[in-house]
Structure 1
Amino acid sequence: MTAPHEPRYEFPDPPPAIAPVPAIKCFDMRGARVVIGEAGHGWRGDLRADDPLMRGGKLMVPVLSESDFYRSEDEGTEAMAALHPAEQVWVEKPDESVPRRTAARHLFERLVDGDEPPLRFPAPASEVPGLTGRRVWHWRSGAFAYDLRCVSEAFENTDGDIAIKVCAERDWYRWSRTGKIPTMDEALIHMAWVEG
């Protein structure tokens, strides 16, 4: 059922693009979403970082999987993190300066130069198949909620609207680790975007 504060037929602008920012330009990285890799080779995401440290005269960034990050947060323990040279780590940040996209980009618009991780533009959930497990943004109460995961495919709710179910990303990972079913919110599909 639609929450009373959520207008059923509001159509907000899409969320901002996710831009890679070199780790050497960031401070206070604990828990930041990061991408690792090297120009000309490729990129790996769905990772979290801890604050950089010096090892052997080099600035290194501790990086771990999101599931390990959330497990250590829940249990209040330290997790083993791989150390990556800071120049191979980028922090994912919403970038309000990049024009927002309201339609899917064509192939030639998606070509990248390979020197750094690409900008990622959230796509309307209504245009993306295979929603379960995807990271989503949800417009609610006049702002975007993020760090959410989709836990269902699209369905028709009791009001006759098309919706999906979402939960906090922390709860998504806890569910796989403990079997505890997360608290889920219903998001109208036209108010949800999937991260690319």
Structure 2
Amino acid sequence: MSRERRPDPFAERPDRTVRPPKSIEPTPALAQDDLRGRRVIVGAPGLGWRYDLRADEKVVQGSRTYVPVIPEQDWYRAELEQVEVFAPLVPVERVWIERLAIAAQGDEASDSGSHLVSLDAPPKQRPVLATHVQRIVGRRLVQVIDGVERRDLRAVTETYTSSDGEVCIRIATELEWYRWVWSGQHAKTLEVPSRLLWLE
């Protein structure tokens, strides 16, 4: 008697093939208003870029405009504990806002293509499926569920096989990730299938 073949229980699940999240397009802060809390990149063409920073509102001193810029860890602590933190003033022309790209056809996730970039401005950041990354602990992630993007997440583990055989990563919100640094309390984490996670 031949045994009837059972279908793959995951084959019809819509989350098995997840569309990549939007890319991040650095945009000059010069033309932007309402910068408080926005994720920013600072640097200078040809010299390099710093990431994982947050901005406050612009400050005008004399004829120059500056942006107070705070490392994300300090920004989260200041917001949570209502404490003052030192924010260096960066000339506005050296600050770029991380803006989500408008979804466009053909805006594919990063693959094995060329990784060369221009040094004139911070490069566009295309998402990379978490399963394609070897070292992921501490990296920024996007979780995609039913087409909805959940951001401000960090990987707390590398990829591993869960008890039910799914390849997973434990993640935490950025607030939990950074609170772990200043409080010593382990972050509250969630086990998520790596196929639903993208490196920002």
The alignment's TM-score, normalised by the length of structure 2, stands at 0.88
Aligned length: 187
For residues 34-73 of structure 1, what are the structure 2 equivalents within 5 Å?
34-73=40-79
CA distance in 2 between counterparts of 1:37 and 1:178 reads 30
Provide the C-alpha distance between the structure 1 equivalents of 2:101 and 2:21, rounded to a whole number of angstroms. 9
Provide the rounded CA distance (Å) in 2 between the counterparts of 1:75 and 1:123: 34
Which amino acid in the other structure matches residue 45 of structure 2? A
Residue of structure 1 equivalent to 2:159:
154
Is structure 2 residue 157 aligned with structure 1 residue 170? no
Q: SS in structure 1 opposite 2:169?
A: strand
Residue by residue over 1:99-130, the C-alpha shift from the partner in whole angstroms, topping out at 9 and shown as x without a partner, is: 432451423xx222211110011101000011
Q: Which runs of 5+ in 1 are unaligned?
A: 1-6
Rg (Cα) greater in structure: 2
Between the aligned partners of 1:97 and 1:37, the Cα distance in structure 2 is: 27
For 1:26-37, list aligned pairs within 5 A.
26-37=32-43
Shift of residue 56, structure 1, vs aligned partner: 2.0
Residue 113 of structure 1 aligns with which residue?
Answer: 118
SS in 1 for 2:60: strand
1:134 aligns with 2:139: yes
Question: Aligned-pair distance for 1:8?
Answer: 7.9
1:145 aligns with 2:146: no
Instruction: Name the Cα RMSD after superposition.
Output: 1.6
- State the partner residue of 1:104: 111
CA distance in 2, matches of 1:190, 1:54: 46
- Distance (whole Å) between structure 2 residues aligned to residue 27 and residue 58 of structure 1: 16
Q: Is the 8 A contact 1:36 1:45 kept in 2?
A: yes
Superposed CA offset, 1:32-78 (max 9, x none): 11000111211111111101110122111000111111111111122
Where structure 2 has 5 or more consecutive residues not aligned to the other structure, the ranges are: 1-12
> Percent identical across equivalent pairs?
36
Contact 2:110 2:126 (8 Å CA) reproduced: no
Structure 1: which 4+ aligned runs deviate by more than 4 Å? none
1:13–1:102 Cα contact (<8 Å) kept: no
Residue in structure 1 matched with residue 5 of structure 2 by the alignment: none
Q: Tell whether the 8 Å contact from 2:19 to 2:147 is kept in structure 1 after alignment.
A: no
The aligned counterpart of 1:3 is none
Query: Distance in 1 between the 2:19 and 2:146 partners?
Result: 14
Contact 1:155 1:162 in 2 (8 A): yes
